[in-house]
Amino acid sequence: MTSGSRSTPRALEGLKVLDLATFIAGPFTAGLLAELGADVIKVEQPGSGDALRELGEKKNNRALYWALEGRGRRSVTLNLRDPRGQNLARELIRRADIVIENFRPGTLERWNLGEARMREVNPDVILLRVSAYGQTGPYANRPGFGRIAQAFGGLTYLAGYADRPPVLPGSATLADYAAGLFGAYAVLAATLHRDRTGEGQVIDVSLYESIFRLTDQMSLAYDALGIVRERRGSEAHATPHNHYPTADGKWIAIACTSDRLFRRLAAVVDASEEEARGGGGVGVTRVGTGVAPERVGWAEDPEFATMELRVARRVEVDERVGAWTQRHTLDELRERLDAAEVPNSPIYSVADCFNDPQYAARETLVSVNDPVLGPVRMPAPVPRLSVTPAGISRPAPELGEHNGEVYGELGVVGAELAELREGGVI
């Protein structure tokens, strides 16, 4: 997946993308387009480069974030605050189909690179603008990152337990990646529109709205029913739909989102409880009209027949499932649940992901020969296209690695290029 020797052109080959953005959200959009074949030129500040080059853990003084999110593009350095740099930027814009930026609103305009100036040199350019709060509204000029957007977008409020403070919902960068995904599909929609009409447009993506859109029916429940969803740990909208402990000290996720799935799980629990009783029967005693009392299995118990009834007795349901899972190892549980076609999964650490045969079979992890790290495994491109599959054409570049190549394409070579370098423009 890292080779450029593919005989079939990738889906976006020929599309030219100018990535003016920094950190994750905008560059993630650019990276997704690069994996599908677009030629992405990343513009970075001379001397320092994208802040992502310094974020998080490092090996051999190379940030792992950069090794992942810098892949697949060409890097040039350019001082956008310098009028000479702005002139060069406009020449790059002239040749671009798509321009991506995620500065605070108004920044490009201060650098004489706003939409109006772009359209002077490229009337049908598509401009993706990513920001914390969007390009409009009273908060438009406020700074923000993923953690801030996740708090403002309602996600952080839900993370944790009701009697404890809210916690970070998995990662402080979820909003960045969500916005990058929305940006990528919006860019493709705008490109299709331009191909049909010749008309470019501006795409406005905010971090907080990207997160808010992922909070399922929460807003409707509040508006229609006055329900404010609170923190509830690992509980969900259905039950049993939770994380349960195993006999060997691990955890298993089980999801039953319908009555049919519950009956499958309940039948497995019934059978297991009958084994534990030595075949003595399971279930709840019901007194009928006959001579002997009747024992009803959990799968047939009318008091748990619907989702509404089970949710009303959530604690009881979860305790019964948890008591059952604690009597079996993770492997035993997976075997029984898989046989019954009940959705389940071990709760994996990243080390578990690396060792799972499903990851190996689908090459979910792909090896990239990074110039500093050497061969290193990282997430493969998503999604998978049958005719024009995505790929990683190049590892993350060194700062300004492609200055000569890219500026040479503009006719800036030799003494002129050296002068720009010496003047701190590139």
Q: State how far the alpha carbon of 54 is from the alpha carbons of 23, 27, 48, 207, in Å.
A: 10, 15, 9, 22
Structure tokens at 254: 């089980």
Residue 9's pLDDT band (cuts 50, 70, 90): confident
pLDDT of residue 294: 56
Provide the whole-model pTM.
Answer: 0.91
| pLDDT of 283 higher than 70 | no
Q: Which residues of 277-290 are buried (b: 16+ CB within 10 A; e: fewer)?
A: eeeeebbeeeeeee
| pLDDT of 4 higher than 80 | no
Work out the number of other CB atoms within 10 angstroms of the CB of residue 373.
17
Task: Lowest mean pLDDT of 85-94, 283-292, 322-331, name the range.
Answer: 283-292
Residue 296's pLDDT band (cuts 50, 70, 90): confident
Residue 278's pLDDT band (cuts 50, 70, 90): confident
Domains of the chain: 16-216+362-422 (3.40.50.10540), 241-354 (3.30.1540.10)
What does the longest C-alpha to C-alpha distance in the chain come to? 104
- Write down the residue that tokens 């690069």 correspond to: 34
Q: Which residues are catalytic?
A: 176
Which pLDDT tens digit goes with each residue over 332-377? 999 999 999 999 999 999 999 999 999 999 999 999 999 999 999 9
Q: Is the dihedral of CA 68, 71, 77, 80 positive or negative?
A: negative
Confirm if 150 and 171 have CB atoms less than 8 A apart: no
Confirm if 45 and 51 have CB atoms less than 8 A apart: no
Give CA–CA dist 99/379, Å, rounded.
Answer: 25
